[in-house]
């Protein structure tokens, strides 16, 4: 089990990070190919795409990944579950898709502050969401089967297709934001066809379906677990993707695009965090069901994550500004101002995932969902008030503030709702304080020139080496604990 976990974790982290990285690394290419106002429109479209995907999914993919382990031991019962899952996906796609279309058309000019016309953007958004919603279920089923290679191939294929089509249309036909959006839609359609083939010939058991529960019961199980998580995910979207919708009201489209380019650094940090969670969560659920050492194993695994990702965050904070200046040039230098705050925010998001994982195992998601919505809404309102005064930097600051509040409040809820909560909280606080100190000091170090680069390398190398050394210590303890379970 230990070797399988380490191998799968590595594949998940590399594969999922590469998949998302392709989508975000391509942004500078779009920035070179498009006028700045067109790039700003595309940034707003990408943000809208994230929320439409969430609403159309209705939490069904998360319910599938959680309930899969309840059916996996019987091929006939599993086939029944998967067939019902596809039927539920079809019904929700049609019903929710029509509702989104009818609600969005009159609200679109208000939501986008007139930056985007509803035609063809809204229809493209629905087409992408419908294709991706089924792909997401297939991808998460690979995750629950510990099929990291299949997971990675589907994710990379989706990202590669979307980016290649988008770049080709923008470069060859000067398509601008609409061309890039059409490229995403074409890539999603091809990914949907690939996912349908994988589902039919690989995931669906050959045994006849064995009815486990009534279809109505399965609807209640999936929506009862998944629907509250829709609001949980929307809270996350409000914090990570709503910034373009706020900024477009107060700054130019060109500035919105520059901000999103800076956001890439934070997103890449977040991709590593989420990839680790994708690999670890299914293993953790199985540990909790059968292993009496699950809690100390979780403590040490969380400590390794906090320290290891802290070392990565240190390097990222010190390298983000020079890298962005090198790739984007001085005209988009403000992207480097926001990047360190966003790296810190997504590092803290890793604490949040670790500290609230037990709530998801126990299906006690409503309190954390309500708290997430309240915090995100309050911080969005604060961002609206601060951006006219402090500009785009206010949005970056509030990202870090929001994730900190979500983490600390979520930890308190988990400690109350799912005791005992076994996490290295003081360690998380200490490492986060170190990264915050670097974020505040980083602007005083020259971004270019041998002296500035030397200071950055020495500081990052020294601090990350200390954190990595402690991470190795906890990793050894984790190995020691897991030996009886793997013997």
pLDDT score at 487: 39
Domain residue extents for the chain: 14-227, 242-481
Match 């498009």 to its residue by tokens.
Answer: 34
pLDDT score at 485: 45
- pTM for the model stands at 0.77
pLDDT score at 23: 63
pLDDT score at 417: 92
Exposure string over 40-53, b if 16+ CB within 10 A, otherwise e: bbbbbbbbbbbbbb
Q: Which residues of the chain have pLDDT under 70?
A: 1-25, 239, 484-487
pLDDT score at 283: 81
pLDDT score at 486: 42
């Amino acid at each position: 089990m230990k070797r399988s976990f380490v191998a799968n974790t590595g594949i998940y982290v590399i594969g999922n990070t590469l998949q998302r990285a392709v989508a975000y690394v391509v942004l500078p290419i779009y920035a070179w190919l498009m006028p700045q106002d067109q790039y700003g429109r595309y940034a707003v479209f990408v943000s809208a795409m994230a929320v439409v995907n969430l609403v159309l999914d209705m939490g069904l993919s998360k319910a599938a990944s959680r309930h899969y382990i309840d059916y996996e031991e019987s091929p006939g019962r599993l086939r029944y579950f998967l067939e019902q899952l596809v039927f539920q996906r079809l019904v929700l796609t049609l019903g929710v898709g029509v509702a989104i279309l009818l609600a969005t058309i009159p609200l679109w000019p208000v939501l986008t502050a007139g930056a985007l016309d509803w035609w063809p953007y809204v229809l493209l958004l629905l087409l992408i969401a419908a294709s991706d919603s089924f792909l997401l279920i297939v991808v998460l089923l690979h995750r629950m089967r510990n099929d990291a290679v299949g997971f990675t191939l589907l994710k990379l294929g989706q990202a590669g297709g979307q980016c290649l089509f988008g770049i080709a249309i923008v470069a060859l036909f000067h398509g601008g934001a609409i061309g890039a959006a059409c490229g995403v839609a074409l890539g999603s359609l091809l990914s949907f066809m690939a996912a349908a083939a994988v589902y039919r010939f690989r995931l669906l058991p050959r045994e006849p379906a064995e009815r486990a529960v009534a279809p109505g019961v399965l609807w209640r199980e999936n929506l009862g677990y998944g629907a509250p998580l829709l609001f949980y995910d929307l809270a996350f979207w409000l914090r990570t993707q709503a910034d373009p919708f706020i900024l477009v009201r107060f700054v130019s489209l060109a500035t919105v695009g520059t901000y999103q380019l800076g956001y890439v650094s934070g997103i890449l940090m977040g991709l590593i965090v989420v990839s680790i969670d994708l690999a670890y969560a299914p293993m953790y659920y199985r540990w909790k069901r059968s292993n009496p050492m699950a809690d100390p194993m979780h403590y040490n695994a969380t400590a390794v994550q906090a320290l290891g990702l802290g070392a990565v965050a240190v390097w990222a904070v010190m390298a983000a500004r020079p890298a962005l200046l090198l790739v984007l040039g001085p005209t988009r230098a403000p992207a480097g101002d926001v990047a360190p705050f966003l790296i810190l925010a997504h590092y803290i998001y890793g604490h949040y995932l670790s500290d609230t994982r037990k709530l998801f195992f126990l299906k006690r998601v409503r309190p954390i969902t309500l708290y997430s919505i309240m915090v995100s809404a309050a911080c969005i309102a604060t961002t609206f008030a601060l951006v006219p005064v402090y500009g785009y930097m206010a949005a970056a600051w509030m990202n870090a503030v929001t994730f900190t509040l979500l983490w600390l409040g979520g930890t308190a809820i988990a400690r109350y709702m799912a005791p005992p909560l076994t996490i290295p909280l003081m360690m998380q606080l200490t490492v986060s304080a170190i990264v915050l100190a670097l974020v505040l000091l980083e602007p005083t170090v020259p971004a270019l020139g041998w002296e500035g680069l030397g200071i950055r390398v020495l500081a990052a190398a020294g601090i990350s080496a200390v954190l990595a050394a402690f991470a190795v210590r906890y990793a050894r303890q984790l190995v020691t604990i897991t030996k009886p379970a793997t013997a």
